[in-house]
Amino acid sequence: MDRLSKCEANYVPLTPLSFLKRAGSMYANRTSIIYENTRFTWRQTYERCCRLASSLRSLNILNNHVVSVLAPNVPAMYEMHFAVPMAGAVLNTINSRLDAKNVATILRHSEAKALFVDYQYVQLASEALRILMADSQQGQSSMPLVIVIDDVDSPTGVRLGELEYEQLIQMGNPRFVPIEVQDEWDPISLNYTSGTTSEPKGVVYSHRGAYLSTLSLILGWEMGNEPVYLWSLPMFHCNGWTFTWGIAARGGTNVCIRNTTAYDMYRSIATHKVTHMCCAPIVFNILLEAKLNERREISSPVQILTGGAPPPAPLLEKMEHLGFYVTHAYGLTEATGPALVCEWQAKWEPSTRRT
Amino acid sequence: MDRLSKCEANYVPLTPLSFLKRAGSMYANRTSIIYENTRFTWRQTYERCCRLASSLRSLNILNNHVVSVLAPNVPAMYEMHFAVPMAGAVLNTINSRLDAKNVATILRHSEAKALFVDYQYVQLASEALRILMADSQQGQSSMPLVIVIDDVDSPTGVRLGELEYEQLIQMGNPRFVPIEVQDEWDPISLNYTSGTTSEPKGVVYSHRGAYLSTLSLILGWEMGNEPVYLWSLPMFHCNGWTFTWGIAARGGTNVCIRNTTAYDMYRSIATHKVTHMCCAPIVFNILLEAKLNERREISSPVQILTGGAPPPAPLLEKMEHLGFYVTHAYGLTEATGPALVCEWQAKWEPSTRRT
């Protein structure tokens, strides 16, 4: 038997989409997402993703088309991590801190067929689209379909074109059968590294790579079942270091916040009993330098996964005093996010770290 | 690109052998195996497996040859789970409770090229080989090379033929480069289900299947890093429900015991601070019905994974009183062991279960 025929005999492709399908059924009534006063269960999240995927197909988004998104850590951004590949398409999350020129470069290079834009980024998107339009008229690229994402909890009425995210959810089919992953090596997402040295460079994640990296980080961080995960790391950053998919795998709760202010983070941690969060080291400063009226008592330990240079010991100690226990990881966009984890070691006990 | 060419572009095959290679390097100085007064580190275990694999090649064991073993949960049995596939061969662990006729059936059907026999099972093996020899003289099968496994901690001198396990380790090359896994769908082990309805039936596990099932059970049981794992479940049972490979993945310690008596289990748990063990429900009775002089105080909780019919609530309660916290799983040989796990749910708290 050659490899191909062996593959096909028992071939169940590895894909993070299996995490959501399983969560929608096994963890159906658990809370999947909390965002301000909006809450969904895993059954609802699965249905909403089916609806969005079916709407994308109706809008002529086909297999391997790229769907871009400019959004903070709102529920729509989370749902798109499943709904876009469930439509057979490839998710391209764009760093919202880029300027219009870089956003236009990404839209052009990725040949995005659709662009979802949170209402906060309408101006940035408009400028990027104007730059893209100028190119387009020189015959260099075609324009993506634009869909605005209004705030799901407090609609603002801001629009950019005719389509709105919740409309697509409403008109979608909750019983849509997701497009089957034919090959686990097919792309699930396309992430651009920052354009510090030249124009942004694209990295393709396969379904297989995303699946394995997700499990690897859950294992390396020892993230148990039912984590309450605070979205302090942007989902546009390597798909939230794979935890977009990983929280579904663990039947956890995604606590979405629009801004990573000290007030919003402390409030979320105290109210929802957050157990896990990821962040860049800069967020430590935000947490440490919070004013008294922004702080809240942390009653049970919060595990933090951070990247970049190893945080110095005094900083770790200060964080531990507040109730945050830091694990250090290292990776890069080209490695599907964090690839190395400084695992906790038993010989470092005794400590208050483990609960 | 078709699937095959895509595979080959970035192809790193999934295999449990990567767990040992990583443990030998990342967890080099941690204790890998404890058996009576014998202890190994992960670096030593990796080297011993390289040595055994090189000796197997010297004995003309080649790719996809079957290597059978009849042994209790001694270090050799553990090492063979890596060393045999590191030689490119396929491991066939034989249920030592079978009679000689069934053992002969398995040796014949698997076309075993070698048979490793713990000194305790020399009589069973001799009988099986006699039956096989009778067939062999009728031209139906050839005879496997026989290697006896003497007790590594208290050698007995019992032999069956000329070769002995520790000799093969000694004469092997510690810097042997393991045979590369060409294709993750290649076989790693061959397990026979019990012959209750007719002759034993063989099930082939692939490197990919073994790798994924191992991770799946670690995740489902939420087994963290550095478990101290008591071998109360036979390794011949679906490769110890994949924990042969899983303990290497977690950098844990394998506590090997020759017999699952109440005395040996309680003594091991208390002495080595066992955190995890798997067993059939019958072992609950052995633990519950232990005499006073066989018991030892259990100072920190022991997680038990069990299979078969769900244990009744009063039994679970009795076990918890002793310090054992039971998770129930279900599976079958054809599904690479336990495939379903009754995950612990937060809503079942408060409890003393989690520490």
**Burial status of residue A273 (CB atoms within 10 A of its CB: 0-12, 13-18, 19 or more):** middle
Residue numbers in B near A225 (CB within 8 A)? 222, 343-346
Q: Of the given ranges (A141-145, A236-240, B54-58, B222-226), which has the lowest mean pLDDT?
A: A141-145
List the one residue out of A237, A336, A277, A341 whose CA is nearest residue A14: A336
Q: What is the pLDDT of residues B85-142, one digit of tens each?
A: 999 999 999 999 999 999 999 999 999 999 999 999 999 999 999 999 998 888 777 8
Selected for mutation to probe chain A from B1, B7, B336 (highest A CB count within 10 Å) is: B7
Token pair, residue B184, equals 């993750």
Query: A218 contacts in B (CB within 8 Å)?
Result: 219
Following DSSP, what letter does each residue of A91-115 receive, concatenated?
Answer: EEE--TTS-HHHHHHHHHHHT-SEE
A70: β partners: A117
CB B229 within 8 A of CB B257: no
Residue B144 in 3-state DSSP?
A: coil
What's the rounded Cα separation, in Å, for the pair B66 and B141?
14
Q: Which residues of A touch B215 (CB under 8 A)?
A: 215, 219
Contact A218 B222 (CB under 8 A): no
B211 and B197 within one domain: no
Q: Is B28 part of any domain?
A: no
pLDDT computed for residue B19 by the predictor: 98
Give the range among A264-268, A346-350, B94-98, B211-215 with minimum mean pLDDT.
Answer: A346-350
| C-alpha angle B211-A222-A35 in degrees, rounded to nearest 5 | 115
Tell me which residue of A101, A113, A119 sits closest to A155, measured CA to CA: A119
Give the residue from A85, A284, A106, A91 showing the smallest Cα distance to A178.
A85
The C-alpha angle with vertex B280 and arms to B279 and B284, in degrees rounded to 5, equals: 80
Q: What is the pLDDT of residues B213-270, one digit of tens each?
A: 999 999 999 999 999 999 999 999 999 999 999 999 999 999 999 999 999 999 999 9
Instruction: Give the three-class secondary structure for A173.
Output: coil
Residues A311 and A337 in one domain: yes
Kindly report the nearest CA distance between residue A247 and chain B, in angstroms: 13
Residue A332 belongs to a domain with what CATH number? 3.40.50.980
| Number of neighbours of residue B309 by Cβ within 10 angstroms | 9
CB-nearest to B219 from A212, A215, A343 is A215
- Banded model confidence at residue B273, pLDDT cuts 50, 70, 90: very high
Give the rounded percent of residues in chain A with a pLDDT score beyond 90: 86
Contact B4 A6 (CB under 8 A): no
Return the residue in B10, B22, B219, B245 with the most chain A beta carbons within 10 A, the one to mutate for interface testing: B219
Test B219 with A222 for CB contact under 8 angstroms: no
Burial (CB count <10 Å: 0-12, 13-18, 19+), residue A49:
buried
pLDDT digits (tens, 9 = 90+) for A285-340: 999 999 999 999 999 999 999 998 889 999 999 999 999 999 999 999 999 989 99
Query: Given a cut of 80, is residue B343 above it in pLDDT?
Result: yes
Q: Are strands B187-193 and B201-206 parallel, antiparallel or unpaired?
A: antiparallel
CATH number at residue A61: 3.40.50.12780
Residue B329 pLDDT class (50, 70, 90 cuts): very high
Residue from B10, B230, B75 nearest A208 by CA: B10
Question: Is residue A270 located within the same domain as residue A295?
Answer: yes
* DSSP assignments along B30-61, one per residue: SEEEEETTEEEEHHHHHHHHHHHHHHHHHTT-
Whether B355 shows a pLDDT value over 50: the answer reads: no
Q: Is A134 inside any structural domain?
A: yes
**A72-91 pLDDT per residue, tens:** 999 999 999 999 999 999 99
Nearest CA to CA, how far is B339 from chain A (Å)?
14
User: Given A185, A205, A225, which residue is the final one in a domain?
Assistant: A205
- Mark whether B267 and B163 lie in a shared domain: no
Tokens standing for B320? 């918890």
Task: Tell me the average pLDDT of chain A.
Answer: 94
B216 and B199 both lie in a single domain:
no
Residue among A3, A14, A212 minimizing CB distance to B183: A3
Q: Do both A175 and A237 map to the same domain?
A: no
Instruction: Identify whether B15 is part of a domain.
Output: no
Test the A interface: residue of B1, B3, B26, B348 with most A CBs within 10 Å: B3
Residue A350, pLDDT > 90, answer no
Query: In this structure, what DSSP letter does residue B251 have?
Result: T
Mutate to test the interface with B, among A1, A7, A10, A352 (most CBs of B within 10 A): A7
Closest partner residue to B344 (CB to CB) among A215, A225, A344 is A225
Q: How large is the average pLDDT for residues A160-183?
A: 97
Specify the pLDDT at position B202: 94
> Is there a single domain that holds both residue A62 and residue A191?
yes
pLDDT at A355 over 70: no
Give the closest-approach CA distance of B185 to chain A in angstroms.
7
Beta bridge partners of A187: A206
Q: Where are the beta strands (DSSP E) in chain B?
A: 31-35, 38-41, 66-70, 90-93, 114-118, 145-149, 163-164, 187-193, 201-206, 228-230, 253-255, 276-279, 302-306, 324-332, 337-341
Domain assignment of residue B75, given as a range: 42-205
- Residue A175 and residue A233 in one domain: no
Instruction: Say yes or no for a CB contact (<8 Å) between A6 and B185.
Output: yes
Cα dihedral value B154, B157, B163, B167, nearest 10: 40
Quick one: A269 exposed, middle or buried, by C-beta within 10 A (0-12, 13-18, 19+)? Answer: buried
Query: How far apart, in Å, do the first and last CA atoms of chain B sit?
Result: 50
Interval B151-162: pLDDT, tens? 999 999 999 999
DSSP letter for each residue of A251-273: T-EEE--SS--HHHHHHHHHHHT
Instruction: Tell me which residue in A212, A224, A346 faces B222 most closely, judged by beta carbons.
Output: A224
Option in A185, A212, A222 nearest B224 (CB): A222
Candidate from A11-15, B116-120, B141-145 with smallest mean pLDDT = B141-145
- At a CB cut-off of 8 Å and minimum separation 6, what does A350 contact? none
Q: Note whether A169 and A214 are same-domain residues.
A: no
Based on the domain organization, do B200 and B215 belong to the same domain? Answer: no
Query: A222 in contact with B at a CB cutoff of 8 Å?
Result: yes
Q: How far apart are CA A236 and CA A73, in angstroms?
A: 8
Nearest-neighbour CA in chain B from A240: distance (Å):
20
Report the pLDDT value the prediction gives residue A351, as an integer from 0 to 100: 53
- Considering the domain architecture, whether residues B192 and B218 belong to the same structural domain is answered as no
Q: Going along B123-265, which residue ranges are E strands?
A: 145-149, 163-164, 187-193, 201-206, 228-230, 253-255
Cross-chain Cβ contact A7/B3 below 8 Å: yes
Q: Are residues B138 and B216 in the same domain?
A: no
- With 90 as the cut, is the pLDDT of residue B315 above it? yes
Asked if residue A96 lies in contact with residue A123, where contact means CB atoms within 8 angstroms, the answer is no
DSSP 8-state assignment for residue A14: -
| pLDDT for A21 beyond 70 | yes
Do the domain assignments include residue B317? yes
- Cβ B7–A219 below 8 Å, yes or no? no
> A177-190: per-residue pLDDT in tens?
999 999 999 999 99
Give the integer Cα–Cα distance in Å for A39 and A75.
9
Q: What ipTM, to 2 d.p.?
A: 0.94
Helix H or strand E segment including A288: helix A282-288
With a CB-CB cutoff of 8 Å, which residues 200-219 of chain A face chain B? Answer: 212, 215, 218-219
Give the pLDDT band of residue B199 (cuts 50, 70, 90).
confident
* Whole-number pLDDT of residue A10: 67
B contacts of A27 (beta carbons < 8 Å): none
Per-residue pLDDT at A199:
83
B7 with A185: Cβ contact below 8 A: yes
Nearest-CB residue to B4 (from A4, A14, A224): A4
Query: Residues 129-188, chain A: which have Cβ within 8 Å of B?
Result: 183, 185
On whether residue B105 sits in a domain, the answer given is yes
One-letter amino acid identity for A349?
A: E
Q: How many helices (H) and strands (E) does chain A have?
A: 13, 15
Q: Give residue B142's pLDDT.
A: 86
Asked which of A205, A227, A260 is the last residue of a domain, the reply is: A205
Inter-residue contact A32 to A42 (CB < 8 Å): yes
Q: Measure in Å the smallest separation between the Cα of B23 and chain A Cα atoms.
A: 13
Sheet holding B66-70, edge to edge: B163-164, B145-149, B114-118, B66-70, B90-93, B187-193, B201-206
CA atoms within 13 A on the CB side of B322: 23
pLDDT higher than threshold 90 for residue A353: no
> Nearest CA to CA, how far is B18 from chain A (Å)?
13
- Where among B154, B183, B205 does a domain terminate? B205
Answer whether A3 sits within 8 Å of B6, measured CB to CB.
no
CB contacts < 8 A, A to B, total: 43
B157: left (phi over 0), alpha (psi -120 to 50) or beta: left
A11 shares contact with chain B (CB less than 8 Å): no
> Considering all CA atoms of chain A, what is the largest pairwise distance in Å, rounded to the nearest integer?
68
Does the pLDDT at position B297 exceed 60? yes
Residue A161 lies in a domain: yes
Contact of B35 with B75, CB cutoff 8 Å: yes
Position B332 in a domain: yes
Confidence band, pLDDT 50/70/90 cuts, at residue B350: low
Let me know how long chain A is.
355
Look at residue B270 and tell me if it is in a domain: yes
Q: Report the distance separating Cα B51 and Cα A216, nearest Å.
A: 29
Rounded distance between C-alpha atoms, residue A329 and residue A318, angstroms? 19
Domain count, chain B: 2
More confident residue, B10 or B259: B259
